[in-house]
Structure 1
Amino acid sequence: MREGSLDAPVRHPIRWNDPDFYDWEKINDELERVFDICHGCRRCFNLCDSFPLLFDLIDDSPSGELDSVDRSEYKKVVDACTLCDMCFMVSCPYVPPHEFDLDFPHLMLRYRAAERHHGHKLGMEGELTKTDRNGKLAAIAPWLANWASERSNGLTRPLLERVAKVDRQADLPKYHGKPFIKQARNPETVNSAAPAAGRKAVLYATCFVNYNNPDIGVATRRVMAHNGVETEVVYPRCCGMPQFEQGEVEKVAEAAREIAGELIGWIERGYDVVALTPSCALMMKFEWPLLLPEDETIKRVSQATFDVTEYVVDIANKEGLAEGLQPLDGGVALHIACHARAQNMGNKAREMMKLVPEAEIKQLPRCSGHGGSWGVLKGNFETALKVGKPVARDTYKAGHKYVASECPLAGTHILQGLERIDADTAAEDKKPVPNRAHHPIELFARAYGLID
């Protein structure tokens, strides 16, 4: 067989119900097989920190080969993986259907799932993944939650660092007092309407939009209404991505069944499903069907799901967009989220923003380094900034008014990288640093004049 493959990547179902999936001897044998192939290739040296760690372990070993690396060291490589999927979707020439059959992220997932299966509990940092519980509690007194999470809070952030291992320098998402699912009941979230385009979409709010930034949801509804799309909003629970990253596959499967069970009724009534953040769209389109390959409801939800930028571009290509887009009052440094790229749908955020007249776009295709809850932890935060430095550097050089990312956590992380760069820049060379990052749909709504 030829070196590498020109065929489209395919993924095998995640056999989490098979006892062999959790067998440590079989897992370590597979890690050894995959790591040895990665050692011989090294194409992913500049992605996440897993690969530099792996290559350093090998290069510093007595033989300079994997055979003299103790298997106990493999966990360091596993723990550094953020499940961004860029090695699988972008870099690796040996993914299925190649005979080498490499799926590095899902092997890291299997290792973590085995840890959970064999009773290796998450510490207090695992509480970060309970997004629904945290969001509901914070909504009771958002001012208190936001005060406690503020980087400048010298009382609570050192405590959070000691108890939950959250780096005191890492920016944390702010909470909103009125979740998006409640705001959606207010007709003011939809303030414009055009002749019906014949489309109906149910917006899956996502935990981040629901609890942390409802403005993304409001902007989406207004853009949809302006383009004649009838929308409803649902949010049964988190899609499971935070638990997926930690290997809690059984919990993710439970969430998938519950959410799909609610969405299928909308699909049967002719609604498309639109996810408001790319990590959730990735889970719904690809990871859920791999976890539950025999579930027909999951399959139908997967086939009916769009990422929000993908959906707007689809409207533009098929029905044409409603009139009214005006140039923005500045350029946009546009980060392409890893979980958007992993959906294998093309660069839809850039396509959407290019629909804005006279759009000045600086594309940022590399990883922001954040990696979900991984990037805020003590010991990871500085590595996350290092991985994301090329994106922050390119953003700073562009000097545009707006920073945007489909991934809200990535956008905030890029701003922290900009702070570091700005602090190290001579006064005469400094450039303005935006004080917030936007989701592209917010800027699109602004170009329509639908939000301020």
Structure 2
Amino acid sequence: MREGSLEAPTRHPLDWQNPEFYDEEKLDAELRRVFDICHGCRRCFNLCDSFPRLFDLVDAAPSEELDTVASSDFKSVVDACTLCDLCFMTKCPYVPPHPFNLDFPHLMLRYRATDVKNGEGSFVDRQLAETDRNGKLVGLVAPIANFATSTGNTLSRNILEKVAGLDAQAELPKYASTPLTSQARATTPEINREAPGFGRKAVLYATCFNNYNDPSGGLAARAVLARNGVETEVVHPHCCGMPMLEQGRIGEVAKSAKIVAKALNEWIDKGYDVIALVPSCALMLKFEWPLILPGDADIKKLSSGTFDLSEYVVDIARKNGIAPGMEPIAGGVSLHIACHSRAQNMGQKATEMLKLLPQADVQVMERCSGHGGAWGFKKGNFDVAKKVGRPVARTAGNGGKAYVTSECPLAGVHISQGIDALGTDKPKPALVKHPIQLIARAYGIEV
């Protein structure tokens, strides 16, 4: 059997509606088949913590092989997977169409889905994943909530750590008093008047983070797109379901997919492109949903009509030319390529976008930040997340650039915290939440 495959990687639909998907004996057999291949290869040793945990289990087993590892110990391997997809997209030589048919992240997802089917799973985790509900409620008291969740507020953070399991050291997302959708409604007529009218129209899928936590990235995106002739609207019909996917709640993700697809396809029918403002959400719309609901025509239609934000700006530059008027960004930029951007298999679009800047000085970091969505906030995970992300933090901290940015809003903050932990005496680069904000700044737009 040759190592690797010459064909492009492909993924099979998730068979989550088949009762055999949740059969524990068949799941254990598949775990052992895949883990044995991973143990023999070990190419992923330096990605997330799942693989070191697996290899340590094997090395400590009486036979030093998988046959003497207890199935009950597999849970620690599953718990460390952040569904970043980097093993599938960048490392594994045995992904489909190779006959070994290895899809490690989706196997971890199957394990979690089986736990959910059996009534397991944390009540607290479930509540944290209700991002739409939480965003609407917490936004009503945003200043108080932001004060209470600040890392400097040791009393409330220690309580939150004990009650919700969120590490007191982890920087949590802040909340906005006014959602992005509300701010957009107030400015749509004005900002669309600024668009020169090159024929492009796009609807921005706000995403939970931009809508409830930090609207600045969405506002910057609208301003840049308007400068480049794109009329825009902003909507947020529902969460994309990524927080639920991380927990294995596939059925709930499918419900979210149907709600969002119905709403966004109405815009596609009116001639609008769909732009997702966060790579994880773009990945869901473009790739994960079609694997969960492969026969759904609405899902297929939305998948083919969706763009990642950086991807869309680069497409404008290639086909129409980027609008003039940008000034150089002094001091240079350290750019982290988000894992879920890489998983979209579209190339380094954020790098291409920032190289549109005059006299562009971009240092690219194409490695996982270690955060892994909500996983990195949790007690017991935060220190692991810092360890996994230390190479990125070290590169950014020692790179001598004025700014550090990531397409992933959680990764950017985590990298910034990692730089602090290094204790370097070099000037710390200023955090910019998304590369699009540097493009806006180059146009003289501050949001």
- Settle same-fold status: TM greater than 0.5: yes
On the 8 A contact 2:44/2:91 being kept in 1, the answer is yes
On the 8 A contact 2:192/2:231 being kept in 1, the answer is no
Task: State the alpha-carbon separation in 2 of the partners of residues 87 and 3 from structure 1.
Answer: 16
1:317 maps to what in 2?
Answer: 318
Task: State the alpha-carbon separation in 1 of the partners of residues 146 and 193 from structure 2.
Answer: 32
The answer to whether structure 1 residue 209 and structure 2 residue 204 are counterparts is no
1:95 maps to what in 2?
Answer: 95
Task: State the alpha-carbon separation in 1 of the partners of residues 192 and 16 from structure 2.
Answer: 46
2:109 maps to what in 1?
Answer: 109
SS at match of 2:317: helix
Task: State the alpha-carbon separation in 2 of the partners of residues 127 and 389 from structure 1.
Answer: 30
Of residues 351-360 and 190-199 in structure 1, the stretch that sits farther from structure 2 once superposed is: 190-199
How far the C-alpha of 1:127 sits from its partner, in A, is 2.0
* Structure 1 residue ranges, 4+ long, deviating more than 4 angstroms after superposition: none
Matches within 5 A, 1:74-153: 74-153=74-153
How far the C-alpha of 1:63 sits from its partner, in A, is 0.5
How far the C-alpha of 1:246 sits from its partner, in A, is 0.4
1:58 maps to what in 2?
Answer: 58
2:293 maps to what in 1?
Answer: 292
Q: Give the number of aligned pairs.
A: 446
Letter in 2 for 1:215: S
Letter in 1 for 2:175: Y
On the 8 A contact 1:176/1:212 being kept in 2, the answer is yes
How far the C-alpha of 1:321 sits from its partner, in A, is 1.2
Task: State the alpha-carbon separation in 2 of the partners of residues 203 and 407 from structure 1.
Answer: 16
Matches within 5 A, 1:2-13: 2-13=2-13
How far the C-alpha of 1:400 sits from its partner, in A, is 1.1
On the 8 A contact 1:282/1:342 being kept in 2, the answer is yes
On the 8 A contact 2:326/2:358 being kept in 1, the answer is yes
1:438 maps to what in 2?
Answer: 433
On the 8 A contact 1:192/1:226 being kept in 2, the answer is no
The answer to whether structure 1 residue 24 and structure 2 residue 56 are counterparts is no
1:195 maps to what in 2?
Answer: 196
Task: State the alpha-carbon separation in 2 of the partners of residues 39 and 309 from structure 1.
Answer: 37
How far the C-alpha of 1:193 sits from its partner, in A, is 2.2
How far the C-alpha of 1:192 sits from its partner, in A, is 7.1
Task: State the alpha-carbon separation in 1 of the partners of residues 195 and 168 from structure 2.
Answer: 47
Q: Alpha carbons of 1:304 and 1:446: their partners in 2 closer, same or farther (altered >3 Å)?
A: same
1:301 maps to what in 2?
Answer: 302
Question: 1:248-269: per-residue Cα shift (whole Å, max 9, x none)?
Answer: 0000000000000001111011
Matches within 5 A, 1:389-408: 389-408=390-409
On the 8 A contact 2:275/2:306 being kept in 1, the answer is yes
SS at match of 2:185: coil
Letter in 2 for 1:403: V
Percent of residue pairs identical: 61
On the 8 A contact 2:43/2:92 being kept in 1, the answer is yes
Task: State the alpha-carbon separation in 1 of the partners of residues 32 and 224 from structure 2.
Answer: 50
Letter in 1 for 2:138: A
How far the C-alpha of 1:399 sits from its partner, in A, is 2.0
On the 8 A contact 1:193/1:227 being kept in 2, the answer is no
On the 8 A contact 2:195/2:231 being kept in 1, the answer is no
Question: 1:149-187: per-residue Cα shift (whole Å, max 9, x none)?
Answer: 100112211111111110000000000100000000122
2:240 maps to what in 1?
Answer: 239
Task: State the alpha-carbon separation in 2 of the partners of residues 141 and 375 from structure 1.
Answer: 25
2:222 maps to what in 1?
Answer: 221
1:337 maps to what in 2?
Answer: 338
How far the C-alpha of 1:126 sits from its partner, in A, is 2.9
Task: State the alpha-carbon separation in 2 of the partners of residues 289 and 121 from structure 1.
Answer: 25
Task: State the alpha-carbon separation in 2 of the partners of residues 192 and 272 from structure 1.
Answer: 19
On the 8 A contact 1:367/1:391 being kept in 2, the answer is yes
SS at match of 1:175: coil
1:326 maps to what in 2?
Answer: 327
The answer to whether structure 1 residue 269 and structure 2 residue 270 are counterparts is yes
On the 8 A contact 1:404/1:437 being kept in 2, the answer is yes
Letter in 2 for 1:449: G
How far the C-alpha of 1:329 sits from its partner, in A, is 2.1
Letter in 1 for 2:64: G
Of residues 269-278 and 434-443 in structure 1, the stretch that sits farther from structure 2 once superposed is: 434-443
SS at match of 2:11: coil
Task: State the alpha-carbon separation in 1 of the partners of residues 59 and 349 from structure 2.
Answer: 40
2:444 maps to what in 1?
Answer: 449
Letter in 2 for 1:57: L
On the 8 A contact 2:396/2:429 being kept in 1, the answer is no
Question: 1:223-268: per-residue Cα shift (whole Å, max 9, x none)?
Answer: 1111110101110111000000000000000000000000111101
The answer to whether structure 1 residue 368 and structure 2 residue 369 are counterparts is yes
Letter in 1 for 2:228: N
Task: State the alpha-carbon separation in 2 of the partners of residues 194 and 157 from structure 1.
Answer: 45
How far the C-alpha of 1:191 sits from its partner, in A, is 7.8
When normalised by structure 1's length, the TM-score is: 0.97
On the 8 A contact 1:225/1:231 being kept in 2, the answer is yes
Letter in 1 for 2:239: C
Task: State the alpha-carbon separation in 2 of the partners of residues 334 and 218 from structure 1.
Answer: 20
Letter in 2 for 1:228: G
2:350 maps to what in 1?
Answer: 349
Task: State the alpha-carbon separation in 1 of the partners of residues 354 and 344 from structure 2.
Answer: 18
Task: State the alpha-carbon separation in 1 of the partners of residues 130 and 386 from structure 2.
Answer: 24
Task: State the alpha-carbon separation in 1 of the partners of residues 428 and 128 from structure 2.
Answer: 29
2:280 maps to what in 1?
Answer: 279
Letter in 1 for 2:233: E
Task: State the alpha-carbon separation in 2 of the partners of residues 416 and 126 from structure 1.
Answer: 26
Unaligned 5+ segments in structure 2 are: none
Question: 1:281-324: per-residue Cα shift (whole Å, max 9, x none)?
Answer: 00000000000000000000000000000000001111111111
Task: State the alpha-carbon separation in 2 of the partners of residues 438 and 374 from structure 1.
Answer: 20
On the 8 A contact 1:412/1:437 being kept in 2, the answer is no
SS at match of 1:284: helix
Letter in 1 for 2:444: G
